[in-house]
Amino acid sequence: MGEEDTAPVVNVSIEGRIEATIPSQLKYIPSLVARLLEKLRPWGDPSAEADIEIALTEALTNAMCHGNRMDEQKKVTVIATIDEHQATFTIADEGDGFDPTRVDDPTRSENVLRQGGRGLWLIRHLMDEVRYNEAANEITMIRTFHRVERS
């Protein structure tokens, strides 16, 4: 990744809490996700890392594309808390929100060949808990660690 891919991120890390704000530009997602994944590695749950990478990428993409409608003036905010037991990620956009109960199930036969529409399904299946604020312009994803002891 080049210098141009590093977002002007406000990043504060205080005892396992990380806050970041980025503009709605897809090119900033990989570097932000990589920074968040670095904070997971000390807790020793490699299976969680891959799942969280996918869930974060999907949630950030949804916030930018669907929430902020790729308006580069609108921001996406991430608040993450990570410790030896779990990781919690809250991602908020500046959009109007949506009704999560009205999202089509991508596993239904009429939706299988549709392009897109799998992000929320993936997030729900990769994370242990997923919830939205009342407007549904903020998603909170929780993954509990099942630590693998190394000998």
pLDDT tens, per residue, the chain with 151 residues = 455 565 556 566 667 789 999 999 999 999 999 999 998 888 767 889 999 999 999 999 999 999 999 999 999 999 999 988 999 999 999 999 998 888 877 777 776 667 666 889 999 999 999 999 999 999 999 999 876 555 5
The predicted pLDDT at position 7 comes to 57
The domains located in the chain, with CATH, are 3-144 (3.30.565.10)
The predicted pLDDT at position 146 comes to 77
pTM of the predicted model as reported, rounded to 2 decimal places: 0.86
The predicted pLDDT at position 104 comes to 76
The predicted pLDDT at position 10 comes to 55
Q: Is 116 left (phi over 0), alpha (psi -120 to 50) or beta?
A: left
Gyration radius from the chain CA atoms: 16
The predicted pLDDT at position 41 comes to 85
The predicted pLDDT at position 47 comes to 80
Distance from the Cα of residue 133 to its chain's centroid: 15
d(CA 61, CA 106): 17
